Amino acid sequence: MGNLRQVCTEIMGEIKKNNPKTKHELNQLKLKILDKYKNKIKQVPKNADIYFAASEDERENFRELLSLKPVRTISGVAPIALMSEPYPCPHTMKGIGPCTYCPGGPGSFFGNVPQSYTGKEPSTRRAIRNNYDPYLIVFNRLEHYVAMGKVPDKAEIIIQGGTFTFFPKAYQEYFVKYALKAMNDFSSLFFDKEGNLDILNFKKFFELPRTLNEEDKRTKRIQQKLLYIKNLELDDFGVNKEIDELFFKNNKVSIALGKLENNNQNEISVSASNTSLNIIENNVENTNTLAIKKIQNKLKTENNPNISLKQMQKENETSFIRCVGLTIETKSDFGKLYHGNLMLELGCTRVEIGVQSVYDAVLEATNRGNTVADNIESIRILKDLGFKINCHYMPGLPLTTKEMDLNGLKQLFENQDYKPDMLKIYPCMVMEGTKLYDDWKNGSFTPLTTKEAAEIIAEAKRYVPKYLRIMRIQRDIPTFATASGVDRTNLRQYVEKICKERNINCKCIRCREAGFHLKNNKKISINNIQTTITEYEASHGKEFFIAAEDLENDVLFGFCRMRFPSQFLREEITSTSALIRELHVFSSAAQIGRKSDESFQHRGIGKNLLAKAEEITRQNRKDKMVVISGIGAREYFRKFGYELEGVYMVKRL
């Protein structure tokens, strides 16, 4: 037995003997055992190592203790952040940008990293490690979820990395196609039709428990296996049998890896340096041109044209791991009707728009490349296509004051031209390699301090409507990568402290959703649910926020967003149509088709919300319900009489 396995086995013995209740108590047990092996093992075993060294009964009994980051799935889905390749941003190509505060991009101070990122964020580091390959990244994340004792059957893809709708259409389709194929293939390889995990195959494929000090080699071998199967159709009986023989039955992994090399496919390295663009001698071509050529080459060498996006979408509808939501980041000038239709074809359900400011002078001074009018027009178009809207806002930009920032946030909540469904608040930070850094160095720009940013956000929480969810209040950039500005990564906790001191009660969805109440050990009951309806005007249309909530305890169990659109931009959407833009039930994710004592999903909440939306639609003399559904949620709506029409799930009322 290897040292790591022995350590994990002994830790599990201590867990059974002492029955720790908290992560701190568990860590104390780890340290106790590690003290015996201090000359042999310097690394603390991960919870996943203990989990996979345990017996089946031990895994079941201590699943929650060994699970990591429960907040990841507490809202009912398993998020998977995918980072696209380093690629020029559109207004840089026009000679306008980049934005004065924006780091990253091809040839940036931080190297060849995606626009708006530094390469230090967890999702960027994961992308670099996997050569920005969506197939490898999704497999990597799904492996992590299963290793944490989670069943990620309802997954939500968030595509990051700048203005995705500016990428070539072929690359957009390639990226989403292989993300979906990874979900389909992971399901086929490791789960049976009833959704039971084949733990032996999973451990064998991912070489678990790990061998310490060989993690890079293990990662490389796994990536080689995945590259071997990436362009194979696993629903083919012969292919499926071959994969089973190579990877699971006869342990012929070396043969498979040999085939990979013989097929002249690229060998992936875990070294970040190997993913950098090669700068041609004498600077014959600049880094933007090289980035574009790299994308073109990837489409030529890594894309199997015989596997289509539509095929992967169709398979994902009934796959065990399903994509129930797809989010795309873009700028408002690349979020108009043309781009909206492209995103619908990809299966996108939510769009993140970098509004950044409600002041034209600020947008112009920061080289944003779009206007306030662009922001307003884009939000309206995308809502009328059915998308959920997540706006990004940036307090502390040049030419603004704290009063202007607070007023800007209030406008998002109160001006019907905005009124987004979700919001990310990113206080402006100063990073090397940007024009803003030069302005800060010469004294012409002073960024917000942590205290100032927290106070602005806390005061803004007084005005947050109950239909909006504040997703984040800080970029996922480590403070060591910034030169000035907010210097704490736990800004949300700082804001919550100020809210408590000032008696500010935030009504946003995140602060009220059931999963967070359960996480904080608050007693809540499904028996206290009432259905409430909030009507409001937004982007020239009419919105209905239909909520299942416990009013007495201010707990939100789920909601439905329905819209009467202001314009009819596709043939599926008629003048007598209503749009369901979101249907969501909170609490820890429950496996598709199964109830759980620890979750409020699959208990009829979503069904009742949908029925109420249909009732309101009939009362308003409309006869067609149009749902923008995640690909993996289409089967759910079919249970209630909905059928696929174009890109939507539709029902005649």
Residue tagged 């790591």 (tokens): 4
Beta strand ranges found along 331-367 (DSSP E): 350-356
> Which pLDDT does position 600 carry in this prediction?
54
Rounded CA gap, 50 and 210, in Å?
A: 10
Torsion-angle region of residue 297: left (phi > 0), alpha (psi -120 to 50) or beta? alpha
Please say whether the beta carbons of 631 and 313 come within 8 A.
Answer: yes
So what's the pLDDT on residue 35? 78
Domain 514-652 CATH class label: alpha beta
Q: What is the mean pLDDT of each run of 10 residues along the chain (653 residues)?
A: 74 86 79 76 74 76 65 67 95 86 94 94 95 98 90 94 95 98 97 90 90 83 95 90 85 60 45 35 68 94 95 97 97 97 98 98 96 98 98 98 98 98 97 96 96 97 97 89 90 94 95 71 74 98 96 92 98 98 76 53 83 98 98 97 98 97
Report residue 31 as tokens: 């340290």
In this structure, the strands spanning 322-330 and 154-160 are parallel
Q: E strand or H helix at 160, and its extent?
A: strand 154-160
The CATH class, in words, for 331-512 is: alpha beta
How far apart CA 529 and CA 547 sit, in angstroms, is 9
> DSSP of 165-202, one letter per residue?
GGS-HHHHHHHHHHHHHHHHHHHHHHB-TT--B-HHHH
CA proximity to 65, closest of 27, 99, 92: 27
pLDDT at 270: 34
> What is the token pair recorded at 479?
């403070």
Give, for 540, the enclosing helix (H) or strand (E): none
Give 246's DSSP letter: I
Give residue 260's pLDDT: 57
pLDDT at 309: 98
Dig out the tokens for 641 from the structure.
């009489």
CA separation for the pair 413, 462 (Å, rounded): 11
Q: How far apart, in whole angstroms, are the C-alpha atoms of residue 271 and residue 263?
A: 22
Name every residue whose Cβ is closer than 8 Å to that of residue 475 and which is 6 or more positions away in sequence: 426, 429
CA distance 113 to 82: 13
Tokens for 17, please give them: 């003997």
Which pLDDT score, from 0 to 100, does residue 83 have? 97
Long-range contacts of 285-293 (CB under 8 A, 24+ apart): 286/107, 287/106, 287/107, 287/112, 288/88, 288/92, 288/93, 288/106, 288/107, 290/106, 291/85, 291/86, 291/87, 291/88, 291/106, 291/112, 292/87, 292/88
Helices (H) and strands (E) in the chain, counts: 26, 16
- Name the nearest CA neighbour of 135 among 87, 186, 205: 186
Q: What pLDDT score does 588 carry?
A: 52
Beta-carbon contacts of residue 357 (< 8 Å; ≥ 6 apart): 363, 366, 368, 372, 393, 394, 397, 400, 408
Q: Which residues of 30-46 are buried (b: 16+ CB within 10 A; e: fewer)?
A: beebbeeeeeebeeebb
